[in-house]
């Protein structure tokens, strides 16, 4: 198909498609003349993927590019690819090992690579909760950790093993696309819980 047909099939404007082509997020079509290229269903699927990454997951073009590169990377065992992709999502290796976060993951028995950027995020979250003197639910941070872990074990179970490409794609998209889902569901559930607790009709 031509670029105009690709635009119709994917719902992405032609100018945006050209931008993705220039930035290297989308692979070129097959040139049929000096000014025309042919695109296929692979391009439609890729555009869907790009839209998913920079839409609700709100990744920057640069981060989306690294994530796509990690998905595309043609070599290495699955675990290594997952590591590279997760680094790309989180924005690079951490410099210092955050003490409170490391203590927590060790207590939980989680295997976490030194230098994981999410450890720095966890440390910042723990510090903020502490500084704001937020009242936590019974069980505290560990209760969140245990619930999250139950989910992630199930989530990792959905990762297909036929090809490393499919495995990395599912793991990376699972990481990225479920985050906005959880945040949106939590905000709505909090709204419901607030109405139930403080609303006029206590139900």
CB of 144 to a copy of itself, least distance (A): 6
The CB density around residue 70, as the number of other CB atoms within 10 Å, is: 21
171-190 footprint of a copy of itself as x/- string (CB under 8 A): x-xxx-xxxxxxxxxxxxxx
Buried b or exposed e, range 175-203, using 16+ CB within 10 angstroms: bbeeeeeeeeeeeeeeeeeeeeeeeeeee
Q: Which of 35, 135, 162, 202 binds a copy of itself (CB under 8 A)?
A: 135
Q: Which of 40, 99, 148, 163 binds a copy of itself (CB under 8 A)?
A: 148
Q: Which is nearer to a copy of itself, 83 or 165 (CB)?
A: 83
Q: Collapse the DSSP code of 143 into the 3-class scheme (helix H, G, I; strand E, B; otherwise coil) and give the result.
A: helix
Name which of 99, 92, 37 is nearest 70 in CA terms.
92
Q: Which two tokens stand for residue 68?
A: 């796509």
Beta carbons within 8 Å of 69's beta carbon, 6+ residues apart: 88
Q: Which is nearer to a copy of itself, 36 or 127 (CB)?
A: 127
Q: Which stretch binds a copy of itself (CB under 8 A): 1-9, 23-31, 64-72, 82-90?
A: 82-90
Question: Does position 196 bind a copy of itself by CB under 8 A?
Answer: yes
Question: Does position 75 bind a copy of itself by CB under 8 A?
Answer: no
Helices then strands (H, E): number in the chain?
Answer: 9, 2
Q: Decide: 64 and 50 in contact? Cβ < 8 Å.
A: yes
CB of 23 to a copy of itself, least distance (A): 19
Q: Decide: 136 and 129 in contact? Cβ < 8 Å.
A: yes
Q: Which of 111, 114, 162, 165 binds a copy of itself (CB under 8 A)?
A: 111
Any idea which residue has 């990376």 for tokens? Answer: 172
Q: Which of residues 152-171 bind a copy of itself (CB under 8 A)?
A: 152-160, 167, 170-171
Instruction: Please work out the total of residues on this chain that contact a copy of itself, with binding judged by CB under 8 A.
Output: 85
Q: Which of residues 10-69 bind a copy of itself (CB under 8 A)?
A: 48-49, 51-52, 55-57
Question: Does position 96 bind a copy of itself by CB under 8 A?
Answer: no
Question: Does position 99 bind a copy of itself by CB under 8 A?
Answer: no
The CB density around residue 104, as the number of other CB atoms within 10 Å, is: 19
CB of 31 to a copy of itself, least distance (A): 28
């Amino acid at each position: 198909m031509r670029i105009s047909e690709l635009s119709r099939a994917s719902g992405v404007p032609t100018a945006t498609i050209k931008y993705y082509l220039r930035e290297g997020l989308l692979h070129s079509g097959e040139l049929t003349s000096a000014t025309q290229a042919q695109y296929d269903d692979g391009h439609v699927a890729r555009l869907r993927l790009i839209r998913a990454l920079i839409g609700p997951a709100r990744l920057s073009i640069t981060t989306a590019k690294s994530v796509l590169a990690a998905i595309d990377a043609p070599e290495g065992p699955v675990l290594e690819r997952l590591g590279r992709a997760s680094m790309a999502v989180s924005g690079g290796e951490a410099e210092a090992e955050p003490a409170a976060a490391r203590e927590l993951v060790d207590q939980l028995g989680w295997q976490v690579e030194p230098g994981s950027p999410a450890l720095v995020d966890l440390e910042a979250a723990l510090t903020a909760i502490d500084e704001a003197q937020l009242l936590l639910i019974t069980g505290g941070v560990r209760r969140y950790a245990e619930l999250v872990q139950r989910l992630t074990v199930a989530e990792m179970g959905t990762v297909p093993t036929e090809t490393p490409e499919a495995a990395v794609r599912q793991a990376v998209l699972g990481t990225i696309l479920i985050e906005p889902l959880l945040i949106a569901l939590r905000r709505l559930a909090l709204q419901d819980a607030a109405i139930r607790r403080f609303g006029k009709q206590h139900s």
